[in-house]
Structure 1
Amino acid sequence: MPSSEPGLRTAMRRVPRWWLIPAVTVLVLSGLAAAYWAGTTTAAGTTTAQATSTVVPVSATVERRAVVKQVTISGKVIAGAQVAVKATASAGIDRLVVTSTVKGAADRVAPGELLAVVSGRPLLILPSSVPLYRDIASGDSGPDVTALQGALAGFGYSVATTGTFDAATQRALSGWYESVGSETAKQGATKQDAAAADSSSAKTTPGTSTPAVVLRWREFVQIPGDTGRIASIAGPGAVLAEDGIVAHVTIADDAIVARADVLQAESFAAGTPVTVRAGSAALDAKVGQLSGFKDGDPSKNEVPGKDITLPLPAGTQGFAAEQSVTLTAGAAAPEALAVPLIAIRQESGAAYLEVEDSSSLRRVDVKVTAQADGWAALAEAAGLAVGDRVRLP
């Protein structure tokens, strides 16, 4: 036991390693140096890349175009209102048959004219101001007689407004019938005789040489507003249905109606010139009416806003009822030199452009005449032409 203790004590003795401290120090410093070098290299590379990048100038071309503020909305052609004109059977008439017509589709109709002959009797147009509710015989008085006399006078016949159906009224009425190639209803002096007699008979009032004329209200028709245009009319030989409709008359021309939102409506005041287009057809017109605000209807694809109405002159080609159209407000402008609005520069209140030459920029003073849709129209300027390149900011 005692003999082995010195060897064990020797084996456990520490071996001095003084060189480790400088070695570790060198390694740490080397790592720091490498990290610093890598960082500076990366920064230098980034700086070099940034320094070498160049700003590419942006430019635009001078054009010649019309610069104008225009607002376009969609609309539709709406058919004008129509009224049915009916014939009424007089006493002794079994059925209504069109004997002849003097008017055709698209013809204008007005008071004083003959519309057609039905079952041998004329169908004359009276002003709507004449109340028709009874047959009138000689000596009858009333507001209907007064209105009739006024209408006959308006047709150019010599008749005084007395309110009594007198001889002068008879002559005027006979003259009207004769002017359309028809005979008056020559009947007895009383309405009872007139109702009982056949329309083709003629009697003379006792003691007179002029037959008493009875106005048969069923031989007259009236049109709301007094004038219109024939949309359709039964032809000669046609047997009318029980309703007696002989013609349909359009009493209002077709119109164009479009809905504009509140902002758009500001460009469509009444009287504003607009251009209406339907396919290849175009029409210059004026806004007739601008409605009050109306709620939108999503089911009809209608936005909240106001309705613009334009009358469509009768006979206008290319605009049929229910056809879709576009309405553009804003007068057409002549073409002029134009550049993007952002190309305009200002200095001390003066507008100018920077025009690119082969290797430099030159200043050209300009005058802006109009602005719309991001473009500026320019007055003609020396040193500026179509195709020139102008620098954008």
Structure 2
Amino acid sequence: MTSSTPRVHSRRAGRRTVVAAVCLVAVLGAAGASWALLASGPTAASASATDQATTGRHTSPVTRGDLTETWTYAGTLGYGAPVGIPGAAAGTVTWLPKPGQVVHRDEPLYAVDERPVLAMHGTVPLWRTLESGDRGQDVAQLNHNLAALGYGVVEDDVFGRRTLAAVRQWQRDRHREVTGTIGVDDVVFVDGDVRIASVEGQLGLPAEGDVLRVTSTRRVVVVTVGQQDADRFAVGTAVDVRVNGTGDPFPGKVIDSAPVEDTEGGAPKVSATIALESGDRELPAAATAQVDTVGRTERDVLSVPVAAIVAAGQDEYAVDVVRGGTTDRVPVDVGFVADGRIAVTGALREGDQVVVPS
């Protein structure tokens, strides 16, 4: 389910406001929200309804603990959104990788005129030919890659003498013409190791447009939500992810959040990318998933099942409490709603049994 879920806010003052919260509970399942109860104390384990032989009615205990609002959204497990690799090298495409292939640093992404164009790690595209005396982030990326490959360079943003010597040696080691410069015929900067999502170019044609589309090599979950729920997926937010068929939830963290282009004029949406901490557990290449985000928490409150609340008059509420074989109607003020339970205040004690209509 997606994020069109209405929000539930609790207010201990103002019973008219609470009426809406109570009524809303009836449609929570259809709306797509769910909640978790973090109860404390020994009565939490006995929170399920039990059949009371003395009354013939179902009851449930009043519990004390934390009520936490949790929102569930549908997502998709995969490798993230593909990005294009432009064919910047001049010439005819003579080799292309296969979809699904992983390309590491210093490995070929494609070849033009039988000259491999190699992958280097970096986020700034190579927009010029790098040569001695140049400065900039692209030079810093080049130095970082040369150092990672074992060449003796200074990891700064200057194309100095040591960078020049390293570039020349790199070219010799790969049986290339030794020019001491690096251009678009030599390398492509990509954001880490990449997985080939699709091959767009064709052998025998010029390297024009996107020749490849690539993704990250790590599996991520992508969730698309309405703009009104974007704050729940701010970068850095911790979430729980349940991947269908893999058992217990995985811890996850939002690593990217960006607007979704809508060519049909619909409501604004945001696409959030979530990295998983899967440990030693295996993940499928693709699957559906559910993502839980945590909202408000009410600490150390008494709560009862929402179904236990009865109308006691205009804007007044109560619960039926079973004590010593008799049933007393006890007025209560109602508040925060979570996981089908509602916070209550009144002449109640933890462990009291309240009637829950079957």
Q: Please, what TM-score do these two structures have when normalized by structure 2?
A: 0.49
Higher fraction of strand? 2
Question: More helix by proportion, 1 or 2?
Answer: 1
- Under a length normalisation based on structure 1, what TM-score does the superposition of the two structures give? 0.45
